[in-house]
Structure 1
């Protein structure tokens, strides 16, 4: 029998080590159960009202995480000291191993993971199936407000997980960088304008974040009441996800953006789970890029403020007329 060369044996060893070193991003129900048994920190990113109705045992909360941690206008993170105060008051320490969850399939839990990583966390996973998956499994929930033990935090942003608008501009057109646009096709095409301009970053590849789900149309079906639950928002199987992103190079730097970094955080997490080595979220996303009028864009369209004002005025007239009709009937 031929004995493998030292070089070949070393290659196999290194490959195994690389596989083991790949950080897990997404966990399933049994893994969350095991984490609870180890007293791992669990963060529920849903609203206070949803949390009070039922949450995983011992879960912590700041309410709606995206609303609590971001400026309502820019949708960027609040000043670091304010984030530290909010998380600390809720007893959430980014330095601890953490499982983040929300509603099944939504981007909110991935945003929570991104937020903890941005402020220094290194052991953060997402329970994609969320509260629905937990309840379907027949596992116990707690009700009422969160029971926090406040902690004093000193946080510092981790630039390795995010890019700024200037950093994106420096990457446009570079062959060693790939840009993924996680918005809808209409946003990508410039037909749905959500900043001063519509369009997309030059060279970006449009893969809407809903494409990660087993049924990307689930939200529309729920709104139309053609399905009764969110099972379609479960993740596609690994081979399907690999096929979805097959045209991307996992060894290149990958920048993911959407409108404000929220949807992008889910796609970024999925790419990391698939083994992409250098994934970064463009936090300001199109809200920042589209409002920078000298930034190059493809499918560029402009926002018609006059037309919007006209539509608002027409709506206000209609509201006034309806109010008069209601008042006359009283």
Structure 2
């Protein structure tokens, strides 16, 4: 499913496909404006979050995700079915919006201090610090670090931390005002989608995901900062 909702755009992997590319997939799933979409996965919530962000970008915001995903469902010994359900194709109706989508120029303006915004890098410690091999090392200037997986109850525990714990974690990095414009990123807008969904759940109403993320940032040879400090 994940590979059906991403595309390579001008050499940048994992980008949001055009509405024309998404419509056949979403129509095949039978999603209509009245459909409540429940998304889950077996990847700690990453695939589900990216799918729901895609729906939001297409104007469909009637959705929820299953906390803990398939792993938690299995651990709790809830009923499962090994047969694939019969698809009931419909006609997906989209109203694409840029409300949840950030481009490289938007992020660069925040990094340069030309636009207001709070940047969050959701990658691993080593990626943020610039201690990994590859074409891009370090983080966008001004971005604070919060590894997406740290918002789960544990590396082997797929449940999301409770709301009060999450609010305290975001407050600790300087983010408590839900009106603050926030932009999240990772490497290919996969892990960051999870943090986007959490912030939305906590009531932050101005959160965008940088679609190109560090894959594009590095490809376009944008400047980075190495080390633990945002700047």
TM bucket, shorter chain: 0.7 to 0.9
The alpha-carbon distance between structure 1 residues 68 and 197, as it changes in their structure 2 partners (threshold 3 A), is same
Residues 160-199 of structure 1: pairs in structure 2 closer than 5 A: 160-172=99-111, 173-174=113-114, 176-194=116-134, 196-199=135-138
Which residue of structure 2 lines up, in the alignment, with residue 68 of structure 1? 4
Count of paired positions = 220
Unpaired stretches in structure 1, ≥5 consecutive residues: 1-64, 219-229, 301-330
Larger radius of gyration: 1
Report if aligned partners of 1:104, 1:133 keep a CA contact under 8 Å in 2: no
1:84 deviates by 0.5
1:143 deviates by 1.7
Report SS of the residue matched to 1:75. Answer: strand
Which residue of structure 1 lines up, in the alignment, with residue 175 of structure 2? 248
1:290 deviates by 1.5
User: What is the root-mean-square deviation of aligned Cα atoms in Å?
Assistant: 2.1
1:235 deviates by 1.4
Unpaired stretches in structure 2, ≥5 consecutive residues: none
The alpha-carbon distance between structure 1 residues 104 and 128, as it changes in their structure 2 partners (threshold 3 A), is farther
Report SS of the residue matched to 1:290. Answer: helix
Residues 18-37 of structure 1: pairs in structure 2 closer than 5 A: none
Which residue of structure 2 lines up, in the alignment, with residue 233 of structure 1? 158
Deviations 1:80-118 (A, max 9, x none): 212101221232346622111112633111111111111
Deviations 1:238-275 (A, max 9, x none): 22212211121432100000001110011111112222
Residues 195-214 of structure 1: pairs in structure 2 closer than 5 A: 196-214=135-153
Report SS of the residue matched to 2:13. Answer: coil
Deviations 1:267-326 (A, max 9, x none): 111112222221111111111111111x232129xxxxxxxxxxxxxxxxxxxxxxxxxx
